[in-house]
Structure 1
Amino acid sequence: MNYEELQIQNADLNMKEMDLSEVSGLKGLYYNGNIAIEKKLTQTQKTCVLAEELGHHYTTAGNILDQSDPGAMKQERKARLWAYNKLIGLSGIIQGYKALCRNRYDLAKYLDVTEEFLDEALACYRNKYGTSVELDGYLIVFEPSLAVLEKFV
């Protein structure tokens, strides 16, 4: 899923590209159905930032800017997980394997996400599922490095 597709799927929200870096240093901001995205980002970076801001729209409530607050931290993680699942998901990892992606760079390029976003997603999945998880006849291994293995039946 790319930046334009995310915008189309969520056309009911007010989304605008702006110069946020000089004002706040943020890459994106969500408030009450309005999303601002840093206009100087690459398209791939914008995709990742927009997905996270959409995650806030769909999963969080109230002001969570104070990340020293445990409740705000939990909501931040929930929004990021939403974004990871929207752009990557376990099925995306398997699809990348089927498309012959053999390293993180290839997988990030295939999924149209940044390597940083992919690494964060993999760390999140590792925390959620442990060192590996099975899905649809495949074993996704997160440690010691990412691998996808097709199970024999």
Structure 2
Amino acid sequence: MKKSLPCGAKAILIDNNIYITRGLAQVDEICTIIEEISHKLYSSGNILDVSKTTNRKQEFFARRKAHEFLVPRSRLEACYQRGLREYYEVAEHLGVTEEFLREACEHYVQKYGSVVQM
């Protein structure tokens, strides 16, 4: 369901319903919805107050799971093998935003070290 949300949030999960901000591009909606599904699967309780460490941890964990789902490392490697080198090319090929792709790459560098230089 699309509506105006508080605090500049792109989406929020309430009682198994995902409410998403109006006016997002389709590719941004997809990234946002997958992140909210990750919250449903991996978070517990109300985590809107990000001043609490436990809430921030849950937020980051769900975000990383969304990255791993939409931008699996194997697909990044396949993009590299196809000659896709620019973030915008890879993001378009994978159907994610460039920002989401950059975050996914940062996550993989933290997790595995620098594997592929783009």
The amino acid that maps onto 2:20 is I
Greater per-residue strand proportion? 1
Q: Can you give the 5+ residue segments of structure 2 that lack an aligned partner in the other structure?
A: none
Q: CA deviation at 1:24?
A: 4.1
Which of the residues 95, 103, 110 maps onto 1:120?
103
Instruction: Show CA shifts across 1:93-139 (max 9, x none).
Output: 0222243312111000000101001111111111112223xxxxxxx
Q: Is the 8 A contact 1:64 1:75 kept in 2?
A: yes
Higher radius of gyration, 1 or 2: 1
**When the two structures are superposed, what TM-score results if normalisation uses the length of structure 1?**
0.71
Q: CA deviation at 1:91?
A: 1.2
The amino acid that maps onto 1:27 is K
**When the two structures are superposed, what TM-score results if normalisation uses the length of structure 2?**
0.90
Greater per-residue helix proportion? 2
Q: Can you give the 5+ residue segments of structure 1 that lack an aligned partner in the other structure?
A: 1-15, 133-140, 147-153
Q: How many residues in Structure 1 have an aligned counterpart in Structure 2? A: 118
Q: Is the 8 A contact 1:19 1:40 kept in 2?
A: no
Q: Using the alignment, how far apart are the partners of 1:40 and 1:49 within structure 2? A: 13
- Counterpart check, 1:33 vs 2:9: no
Q: Using the alignment, how far apart are the partners of 1:25 and 1:74 within structure 2? A: 20
- Counterpart check, 1:20 vs 2:20: no
Q: Using the alignment, how far apart are the partners of 1:92 and 1:81 within structure 2? A: 16
Moved >6 Å (runs of 4+): none
